[in-house]
Amino acid sequence: MRRGGPGWAAVKRIVWERAGGRCERCGRKFEPVLKAKTARDGHEYQVQVHPGFEYDHVREIADGGALLDPENVQLLCAGREGSCHWLKTRLFGAARRSAGFTSKRRGDHGFTTSPQAS
Ligand SMILES: [Zn+2]
């Protein structure tokens, strides 16, 4: 799993607090939203979600970036065309294509697809 587990949750909290709830590139502010969820036993609870942004790895995991290092994670606005995450993904994809990267070469950077990264 690329993201998930208690380690990732802790990283997200650190990054969120460092960013002050704003996109770290353009400064757009995110408003937390309470979302109702229902547990398997029918019990209802609320979770705080922050729609419209992504926790983004500055240096991609595929390129040897640290998965759970808060210094390698940034908060970016996302989800719509022109957003910071959208732009980064687009630029990254273009750079990767021009560099001739393929999924086979990812293995050369130490990226493994083990189900539990933590
Ligand atoms: Zn942004």
Residue range(s) defining the domain that contains residue 94: 5-26+52-109
Task: Give residues whose Cβ lies within 5 Å of ion ligand 1.
Answer: 23, 25-26, 28, 77, 84
Q: In angstroms, what is the span from residue 45 Cα to ligand 1's centroid?
A: 30
Q: Over the Cα atoms of the chain, what is R_g?
A: 16
Please choose, from the candidates 68, 47, 46, 53, the residue with its C-alpha nearest in 3D space to the C-alpha of residue 2: 68
Q: In angstroms, what is the span from residue 43 Cα to ligand 1's centroid?
A: 36
Averaged pLDDT for residues 88-97? 77
- Tally of domains in the chain: 1
Residue 17 lies in a domain: yes
Q: What is the pLDDT of residues 16-46, one digit of tens each?
A: 999 998 999 999 998 778 889 999 999 999 8
Residue 42 lies in a domain: no
Residue 117 lies in a domain: no
Q: What tokens appear for 116 in the block? A: 């539990």
pLDDT of residue 2: 55
